[in-house]
Amino acid sequence: MCTKEQIQRAMDEYGNMVLRLAYMYMRNEHDAEDVFQDVFIKLYEHMDRIQSEAHMKAWLIRVTINICKNKLKSFVYRKMDAYEDGAHSPYIDNNDSFEVISAVTSLPMKYREVIHLFYYEGYQTKEIAHLLKKRESTVRSLLSRAREMLKNKLKGDYDFA
């Protein structure tokens, strides 16, 4: 069983990452916060399975992605009109311009998730492949296509190499 201190430490260390990732999927603050709560409830329930800090980070990313995908597939979510206002989200890095955030969040999910994990979370393609259960060549291809889409959307104002 885990302690309140262990969960608090995990929230302090990985909470922003979970919120950013959830926001990239859900595209609104309220749903991202719901995902955040669900993720840390699952962590509380399964803390005994976590083997190391690196394993915890990977586990949190995988659980966040799974919860987001499940919520997005749900009938109730698809019928809702989600309010999207990325310019004022506390989960987006203020160094990123609104144009970049809008372009990234407008990408189809398969491109958005690899862009987020590569650029925002700092994972290498091999690690992303493991997290998403895809081949590394597939991840590189998705990244390449996503960069091309972003270049087209942003009209060459940014360097995505």
Give the DSSP H/E element, type plus range, for residue 153: helix 136-154
What pLDDT sits at residue 14? 95
Nearest C-alpha neighbor of 64 from the set 87, 32, 29: 32
* Domains, the chain, with CATH or none: 1-82 (1.10.1740.10), 96-156 (1.10.10.10)
Interhelix angle for 4-26 vs 53-73, to 10°? 40
What's the token pair of residue 144? 């390449």
How high is the pLDDT of residue 86? 46
Residue of 26, 3, 21 whose CA lies nearest to 58: 21
The answer for residues whose C-beta is within 8 angstroms of residue 102's C-beta and 6 or more apart is 86
* Size (the chain), residues: 161
pLDDT at position 93: 57
Instruction: Kindly give the confidence (pLDDT) of every residue in the chain, 161 residues in length, as a single tens digit, with 9 standing for 90 and above.
Output: 467 888 899 999 999 999 999 998 988 899 999 999 999 999 999 988 888 888 899 999 999 999 999 988 875 555 444 434 444 555 555 555 667 877 888 899 899 999 989 988 889 999 999 999 999 999 999 999 999 998 888 875 666 55
State the Cα angle at 34 between 30 and 39, rounded to 5°.
Answer: 145
Give this prediction's pTM. Answer: 0.66
